[in-house]
Structure 1
Amino acid sequence: MSSWEGSVQRRRIFEEQCIAQGIQFVFVTAPDPLAEGSLPAAQQFILEDVPRQIAKYGKGTTFFSTNCGMQEPLIKSILQSGGIFVEQCCPSPTHGYPGALGISIPPEKAGDMTYINEQIKLEIAKQGGTGRFATWPAPVSIISTLAAVDYLVAVAEGKATLGDLNTILSLLEYYAGVPVTLEKYKADVGTMYFIVLGSIVF
């Protein structure tokens, strides 16, 4: 699945679910980070547009962006203006949150997601955003790598078999510490899977 295909599919699901839940869906086009003006122009647009959207639609407005470079200004502007941030395009405690909140992570705490999540929660609470920001408890790259190593060791030791999705799921949930959804992308084709971790709310 290409990133473009995934983005189109995700937007379609968003729109369908908004309609089903009676929520107004609003699509806003931001400047292309790869075009003239590059990423700084796109980030400046986010900083300026979020307050406009909240003024127009209210503090129940929920934001989502598909661009990694926009996550930090998006978090910062939403926190200042009073909106809701459900998660990043690539959900992770370290994606946008530390920079947006001015959190400095000591070298000895690098990779310590429990510590990082605690610091994010504290800083958001200080700024009055409790309950309005979320993400996954850890980067899926870390969770899936840890689970994959344990799984392959189990296979090598004869404790699991290739294609044992129950074992894979249990390992993913063990390292994530939250429920995990594991679904095949196409039921009858290939071996690609969607992995969705349960969210944590700050």
Structure 2
Amino acid sequence: MKKKVLGFIVTSMLALQLMACGAAKEQNSTNYKNTSEDSVADGSELTEDSDVEGSAGEGSFHIGIVTGSFSQSEDDRRGAEAFQDKYGSDNVTLAIYPDNFTEDLDTTIQIIVGLAEDPDMKAIIVNQAVDGTTEAFHEIHEKRPDILCFAGEAYEDFEDIGQVADLVVNYDFISRGYLIVHTAHELGCDSFVHISFPRHLSYESVSRQVDIMKTACEEFDMQFFMEEAPDPITEVGVPGAQSYITEHVSKWAKKYGQKAAYFCTNDAHTEPLIKGLMEYGGYFIEADLPSPLMGYPGALDLDLTGASGDFDNIINTVEDAVVAAGGAGRFGTWSYSYGYSVSAGLAEHARNVILGESELHSINDLAKAYGAFSPGAQWNGTNYTEAITGDKSDNIVLIYQDTYIFDNPGYYMGTTDIEVPENYFTIE
């Protein structure tokens, strides 16, 4: 990469989410770092120590990973494949839930629960944990309480899935709601455009993030706008949803001006949005589930098939194309794919827990697992706290990675070092 990546750090900012309880920041903040000699930031020691043939008991259990299809969530699937490549198809089983999972709810549940039929199955990871995952985990635990159930990017209410999942890891929609707008302001944007649809807006994480973004825009004297685009899982499908974005970007550019930053909540919308903004002007800070592979290859007509998993190569290739297209300083991402990191990292954490090498709810151990598949990345994380009650959940973790702006002085925006004001954690 063009700027040295900082060490892999996960900071537990519990105080930021305990305002409702009146807890002092100094009493609750915990810093997590890889400091031991066998927990290096680049994950090389972890990889060597976790060789399939050399791990005791490795052949005695299986891990299943369920993701969406390539068309809906390619990075999630690539991360699952990376974990399978590392440990072998004899130990790792992959599955895909339907694209139209809300209509095919029973099929989604059956696919997830079906993995528990394997008598050697010891952990099941679902990323993204779409509708039906809660019921699936409930059924699995009724039949097989020995199986660990991990949810990556849960769609269903935390109150529900948190009761049946052993671990839930979502992107930090609270901190990022503030930090994405903060970054847009730092880059000189005067307005912020949020693109979504009713199904996504019905989710707590999305609806709370919208209100946080609105409040942040007020703080930074920016205008906030919302646009509705078609839901890709409806009858229009992915092609129809993408066509809508393609047709409207030029109109939005005229309506909101060249200093507007855009954010969409759906992966399928990302590619046509990036492509349109490259042509007509505007800013794109990062995707809902950020990755240099999210939207950029298609928007810039890049063939990155030979660079699978090589994120140094990927981000440099994408950056060269962004600059060549005139997007320098206007487009950003995370240096490592979020979906990729969650699929592989959660599976790695599950494996470590099963082997007795990690604690289930340790953020430090979760950091080590993510480090095996995102070497050198800087992360920030916190336990989820319910806004009204101030109750903190041990098994629900929110995380985010530093924002990388292509060809911007400094490249990294230092978002993981920015303290989010406490009032944002109580916005509903």
The match for 1:46 is 245
Distance 2:288 2:401 in 1: 13
- Contact 1:60/1:84, CA 8 A, preserved across alignment: yes
Is residue 35 from structure 1 mapped to residue 239 from structure 2 by the alignment?
no
Superposed, 1:184-195 pairs within 5 Å as 184-186=383-385, 187-195=391-399
Q: Summarize the alignment of residues 150-169 of structure 1 with structure 2, pairs less than 5 Å apart.
A: 153=352, 156=355, 161-169=359-367
The residue matched to 1:193 in structure 2 has which SS?
A: strand
Partner of 2:414: none
Kindly report the root-mean-square deviation, in angstroms, between the aligned alpha carbons of the 2 structures.
Answer: 2.5
Residue of 334, 345, 352 corresponding to 1:136:
334
Q: TM-score, normalised by structure 1?
A: 0.85
- 8 Å contact kept, 2:361–2:395: no
Q: Say whether residues 1:96 and 2:295 are aligned partners.
A: yes
Kept in 2: contact 1:176–1:197 (CA 8 A) = no
Contact 2:336 2:377 survives alignment (8 Å): no
Partner of 1:11: 210
Shift of 1:153: 4.1
- Number of residue pairs aligned between Structure 1 and Structure 2: 200
| TM-fit CA distance, 1:172 | 4.2
More deviation in 119-128 or 140-149?
140-149
Using the TM superposition, give the Cα deviation of residue 170 of structure 1 relative to its aligned residue in structure 2, in angstroms.
6.0
Distance 2:375 2:399 in 1: 11
- Distance in 2 (CA, whole Å) between partners of 1:34 and 1:169 is 33
3-state SS, counterpart of residue 28 of structure 1: strand
How far, CA to CA, are the matches of 1:173 and 1:24 in structure 2?
38
> Counterparts of 1:149 and 1:44 in 2: how far apart (Å)?
38
Letter in 2 for 1:50: V
- TM-score with structure 2 setting the length: 0.43
User: What is the CA distance between 1:28 and its match in structure 2?
Assistant: 0.7
Identical columns (%): 28
Quickly say closer, same or farther: Cα 1:34–1:168, change in 2 above 3 A.
closer
The structure whose RCO (Cα within 8 Å, separation 6+) is larger is 2
Going from structure 1 to structure 2, the CA distance change for 1:178 and 1:44 (only over 3 Å counts) comes to: same
Unpaired runs of 5+ in structure 2? 1-153, 157-199, 386-390, 407-428
Matched, 1:87 2:286: yes
User: Does the CA contact (< 8 Å) of 1:68 and 1:89 recur in 2?
Assistant: yes
- Does 2:380 correspond to 1:181? yes
Instruction: Please say if residues 169 and 182 of structure 1, whose CA atoms lie closer than 8 Å, have aligned partners that are also in contact.
Output: no
CA offset at residue 162 of structure 1?
4.7
1:164 partner letter: S
1:56 to 1:176, Cα distance in 2 relative to 1, 3 A:
farther
Deviation at 1:200, TM superposition (A): 1.2
CA contact (8 A) 1:91 1:135 kept: yes
Q: 2:274 aligns with which of 67, 75, 78?
A: 75
The alpha-carbon distance between structure 1 residues 51 and 188, as it changes in their structure 2 partners (threshold 3 A), is same
Q: Which residue of 2 aligns with 1:127?
A: 325
Mapped to 1, the partners of 2:345 and 2:313 lie a distance apart of 19
- Cα distance, 1:42 vs structure 2: 2.1
Partner of 2:141: none
SS class of match (2:327): coil
Runs of 4+ in 1 over 6 A off after TM superposition: none
Rg bigger for which structure?
A: 2
1-side partners of 2:232 and 2:218: how far apart? 30
List per-residue Cα deviations over 1:54-93 (Å, max 9, x = no partner).
2122111111111111111011001111110111121111
Q: Secondary structure at the match of 2:395?
A: coil
CA 126–148 in structure 1, closer or farther in 2 if over 3 Å, else same? same
Higher percent of residues as strand: 2
Q: How far is the alpha carbon of 1:168 from its aligned partner? A: 3.4
Structure 1 counterpart SS, 2:382 = strand
The answer on whether the counterparts of 1:18 and 1:24 sit within 8 Å (CA) in structure 2 is yes
Show structure 1 runs of 5+ residues with no match.
Answer: none
The DSSP-based 3-state class of the residue aligned with 1:31 is coil
Name the CA shift for 1:163/1:43 in 2 (closer, same or farther; >3 Å). closer
Rounded to whole Å, the distance in 2 between the matches of 1:122 and 1:181 is 28
Deviations 1:137-177 (A, max 9, x none): 1122433434763796499576x655432343466468353
The CA distance in 1 between the partners of 2:350 and 2:381, in whole Å, is 15
Partner of 2:109: none
